[in-house]
Amino acid sequence: MQKRRLGRTDLLVSQICLGSMTWGQQNTETEGHAQMDLAFARGVNFIDTAELYPIPPKAETQGRTETIIGNWMKARGNRDRVLLATKVVGRTASDWFRGGRPSKLVRADIFDAIDKSLAKLGTDYVDLYQIHWPERDVPWGANPTRVGGTPPRADSTSGDETPIVETLAVFDELVKAGKIRHFGLSNESSWGLMRFITESEKGIGPRAVSLQNAYNLVNRTFEVNLAEACAREDVSLLAYSPLGQGYLTGKYDHGARPAGSRSQLFNRGQRYETPNAAEVLLEYSELARSFGMEPALFAGAYVASRPFVASSIIGATSLPQLEIALAAAAVVWTEDMQKAVDAVHQRVGNPCP
């Protein structure tokens, strides 16, 4: 499996990153350990998690995923061979993260988050610490195809919004304290990314090395503005949802809702149930089969093959699913495949941003 440089760091991450948000809810600890064993045997060296996980977020399950990962690293004695990424929540009214109060991207809350994460993970540091979503009032994913109302001014704030410069200074403290090695963003916009970079270049805090945003066949919005910004600023894309929460595997085609699937269990697939999405998803499934590939393998191979993707974050609830997701790294993506994908995209755009 290829290794790719993470931003301007000396870290070489596997082109497939093992996502973990099902461990502790859809998957047991034993199943999570089995997934990590298999992924690392296939050449993965990178795990992504978050203080929020598992999904769906609930007070009674929050933090289980980090504990499962920590127990696995302790049992295997392999912390030095794992590149570990986790995240702090952005602004949220959910009060279980901070012991009964809402959370913001301020010093007290960020330090509370990292200290709890380190304890659950059983480690003194994380290799990459990311802001899960902005504190600003922006659409989820922060790269929409439409914006309602009047876009905010560059110098405006929303109520008591924490300034980016203040948040960034806290991450500087975390680096200097040895709690984190590098800093990254997630679900961020072009404006947000460049503001963080601008402030870091003034000497305020660490430079963002990565951006974790959704990217897949039905959501290529990263290519519009963020691709150039990331390329010129050496910020690596960590692409999440390469299979569109399972909607690009074909299992939901023709309205199917398999028992035990995330959509059937939790009804959280609205991002992939937009008008016309079902028809487009079916078209990509049929395109994959025209190349002799299962839709899951085709969709995963597309994302893993993109030159601007440092690592594609995969998730699975079973080992057979994980095998297919890992196999995407070995697919030779051809010019004919790209032309076919681009022809569909030219007609349908990004139905699931």
Catalytic residues: 53
Residue 121 and residue 86: Cα distance in Å, rounded? 10
DSSP state of 151: P
Backbone angles phi, psi at 72, to 5 degrees: -65, -45
231 close to 310: Cβ distance less than 8 angstroms? no
293 close to 284: Cβ distance less than 8 angstroms? no
Q: How many CA atoms lie within 13 A of 159 on its CB side?
A: 6
State the pairing for strand pair 46-48/83-88.
parallel
Strand (E) or helix (H) holding 201: helix 190-201
Strand (E) or helix (H) holding 115: helix 107-121
CA 327-321-330 angle, to 5 degrees, is 5
Residue 139 and residue 335: Cα distance in Å, rounded? 34
User: What per-residue string of b and e applies to 264-287 under the rule 16 or more CB within 10 Å gives b?
Assistant: eeeeebebbeeeebbebbeebbeb
Report how far apart, in Å, the C-alpha atoms of 155 and of each of 69, 142, 164, 192, 208 are.
40, 17, 11, 12, 21
CA gyration radius, the chain: 19
Residue 27 and residue 21: Cα distance in Å, rounded? 9
Kindly state the tokens that stand for 96: 């279980």
CA 15-16-20 angle, to 5 degrees, is 145
